[in-house]
Amino acid sequence: MFSFRTTPLLEQQDLVLRKGRLGVLCNQVAWHPDTGEYLFESLARRGNLVRIFTPEHSLYGPMVPGIETREVTTSLDMDDLKDLDALVIELQDVGSRYSNYTTLLYNLFKRLRSDGADLSVFLVDRINPCGRQIEGTLGIIGLPHRHGLTLGETANLFYSEMGAKFPLHIISTSAEPVNRELMAWTIPPFSDFSGLFTSHFYSGQCLWMGTNVSYGHGTNRPFEQFGAPWMEQLYGYPSRMGRGNWNDTESPVANPGLHVRWTRFVPSYGIYRDETCFGFQLMFIPGATYHALNHALQLLRFIHDTCPEFRDEGLNRYLEDATLLGFVEGRLDWEGTREYIKTEEQKWLRKSKKFTLYGDDPYRIK
pLDDT in tens, 337-346: 999 999 999 9
- 292, 146 Cβ separation under 8 angstroms: yes
For residue 61, pLDDT over 80 is answered with: no
**Which residues have C-beta within 8 Å of that of residue 174, sequence separation ≥ 6?**
6, 180, 358
Mean local confidence (pLDDT), 2-25: 95
pLDDT at 59: 64
- 130, 203 Cβ separation under 8 angstroms: yes
Q: Which of 95, 327, 56, 325 is nearest to 210 (CA)?
A: 325
Count of CB atoms situated within 10 Å of the CB of 106: 22
pTM of the model: 0.93
For residue 160, pLDDT over 90 is answered with: yes
Mean local confidence (pLDDT), 36-42: 92
Residues in the chain: 366
Band (366; pLDDT cuts 50, 70, 90): confident
For residue 154, pLDDT over 60 is answered with: yes
Count of CB atoms situated within 10 Å of the CB of 46: 12
pLDDT at 199: 86
pLDDT in tens, 173-188: 999 988 888 888 788 8
pLDDT in tens, 82-121: 999 999 999 988 899 988 899 999 999 999 998 888 899 9
**Mean of per-residue pLDDT scores for the chain:** 93
Could you confirm whether domain 2-181 is CATH 3.40.50.12170?
A: yes
Give kind and range of the element (H or E) at residue 16. helix 15-19
pLDDT at 62: 55
pLDDT in tens, 289-323: 999 999 999 999 999 999 999 999 999 999 999 99
pLDDT in tens, 166-224: 999 999 999 998 888 888 878 888 878 877 788 889 999 999 999 999 999 999 899 99
Name the DSSP letter for residue 67.
B
| 2-181 and 198-320 agree in CATH topology | no
- 13, 75 Cβ separation under 8 angstroms: no
Mean local confidence (pLDDT), 248-269: 95
Count of CB atoms situated within 10 Å of the CB of 241: 11
- 149, 128 Cβ separation under 8 angstroms: yes
Mean local confidence (pLDDT), 267-288: 95
For residue 234, pLDDT over 90 is answered with: yes
The class (CATH top level) of 198-320 is alpha beta
Q: Which of 105, 260, 94 is nearest to 193 (CA)?
A: 94
Domain ranges of the chain: 2-181, 198-320
